[in-house]
Amino acid sequence: MARDRHSIVKMSRREGYALHPKAHKALVKRSALPGYNPNSKSRPGGSSSQYTLQLREKQKVKRIYGLLERQFSNLMKEASRSTDQQAGVKLLELLERRLDNVVYRAGFAPSRRSSRQLSTHGHFLLNGVRVDIPSIKVKVGDVVTLRPKSTKSDFFTRIDDTSPAPSEVPSWLKVNRKKFEISIVGTPSRDDAEVDINEKLIVEYYSR
């Protein structure tokens, strides 16, 4: 399965956004763009064009959720076909409903990159059936549980150390941490996505 193997810290510096918990400290220490000498008299970029703003927002969101270009483009096409809400809002809903994001939001993985790996290795069951596709979309009524065999793994036996419970779980998810169970009780809204996202710029980018 194809995946982005670039350094998460370098990508975070490029986007000026912590794409992974370990990137927060790195951004404080080195906020300059990768490959840029902060002592140089000239600064890269200057004033950004509208296209550049659109591109960077698209790249940022794509990297937040850990998608490759084709995956993200196809998701945008799916969102654009929606008639019940704006394309940008629909895009964020589809991103939030991905299995790997659900595992991360529920607190069973410390990052989306980690949750993607856990999902790919088939640690979870969707409605009792083992799945190994991180991009599967959950819906209201679905139940995600940890595969019984996986409960004995070192990662999950030490879950409070490997992935501490989040301070807040989205209202569209009901989590039973002791049973490693996630119930989908609603549909994610715009407010459930990352706050520092301007989805309109992404729609504009694909509307060119």
111: pLDDT strictly greater than 90: yes
| pLDDT computed for residue 147 by the predictor | 98
Q: For the domain bounded by 98-187, which CATH number is listed? A: 3.10.290.10
Please report, for the chain, the start and end positions of each structural domain, with discontinuous segments joined by +: 8-36+46-95+195-206, 98-187
What is the per-residue pLDDT across 146-182, written as a single tens digit (0 to 9) for each? Answer: 999 999 999 999 999 999 999 999 999 999 999 999 9
Q: Which of 20-29, 46-55, 68-77, 123-132 has the lowest mean pLDDT?
A: 20-29
For the stretch 56-60, contacts whose Cβ atoms lie closer than 8 Å and that sit 24 or more positions apart, written own/partner, are 56/15, 57/197, 57/198, 57/201, 57/202, 57/205, 58/201, 58/202, 58/205, 58/206, 59/14, 59/15, 60/15, 60/17, 60/197
Indicate the class that CATH gives domain 8-36+46-95+195-206: mainly alpha
Q: Residue 7 above 70 pLDDT?
A: no
CB atoms within 10 A of CB 108: 26
* pTM attached to this predicted model: 0.81
Do 98-187 and 8-36+46-95+195-206 have the same topology in CATH? no
